[in-house]
A = this chain, B = another copy of it.
């Protein structure tokens, strides 16, 4: 019996409300003795910490740096070592490509084909506008076809996402990418009998592209990697009997929310837009996932001060959540992104939970080091969901 099995038995549908604010990449490392979070002035978060219970969470395993996929899966109670989101699916979500059950998606590159060899796997990093033109051209050529339905969505430079829609597709496929320049293009091959149809569909597509692009000289072939179908993950409504909302202004997080059965809304690009959406839809849901991206973006850029400012910005919106009086309020992160490291890291996430049934632990400052002394101790992110549900009165007793 694991948590996901237990959850189906124990969860109760109630009117209580949970707000989960994910400050992406929040945790950091010291520069001049203080982390980004220790440097930032966060009066509102500090006040919450004093009222609540704190701890530190490990997204996957101590020492393991997670991508956004596993880091978020853990937060929503899905064991990130059992469930995986294919690279293609994440790229599709991040590109705002709508993915339905049964769709097959992959990441694509435009490439240069000369005398039967791939001479440049990135087609000289063609400008994004050129990528958009080529995707448009291919989409027009495939438009008359309804089975399989094929759609390309342009990304930056030579990158795109392709979606195949027809019955019977599977993603046990090898990458259709020679990996090195100077080699002939290679077709995909099925890794399991049930992927035979998908391989045939993809390989026909690869040949069609070469035919359609024969007048092009720079970008006249495509390489595909990371084939994925939508994973069969039970949604939050099924697993927890929640009516969840995902409030994010970056496509990938919106897509992730949708994939997990959350209702998503059109949200503007400003931070205030997240909270306007929360307020507008507060009556309709009992679980709210709010995703704030700027901290992670600054961390990835190695911009310590920008990350400090991003933390101070999100801190200033805390009173708007408090004003709604949720039964449970959790502020945490999916993973750490220390500016010092210019990327995701394995460091644990500060975690704070406020609710009438939370034992205040006297943590008066919301930082990595203070949270380390909190009553929740250090725990796997995957335990956050049972904790939130318990404090919201949404979990029955286990066993007699």
Contacts and interface: CB of A to CB of B under 8 A. Distances in A.
A109 interface: no
A357 interface: yes
Interface residues of A, number: 68
Given A64-B395, A65-B395, 10 more contacts: A29-B357, A35-B359, A56-B377, A70-B399, A85-B399, A343-B397, A345-B357, A346-B387, A359-B369, A378-B379
Contact of A81 (B2, B35, B56, B386): B2
A368 interface: yes
A66 B398 contact: yes
Contact of A341 (B3, B345, B357): B357
A63 B378 contact: no
A197 interface: no
A375 interface: yes
A383 interface: yes
A91 B390 CA distance: 26
A376 B378 contact: yes
A63 B383 contact: yes
A362 to B, nearest CB: 7
B1 A81 contact: yes
A68 interface: yes
A17 interface: no
A64 B346 contact: no
Given A81-B6, A361-B372, A62 B397 contact: no
Interface string A142-166: 0000000000000000000000000
**In the complex, the 4 A-B pairs of residues with the closest C-beta atoms, listed nearest first:** A63-B386, A377-B378, A63-B390, A67-B399
Contact of A65 (B360, B388, B398): B398
A82 interface: yes
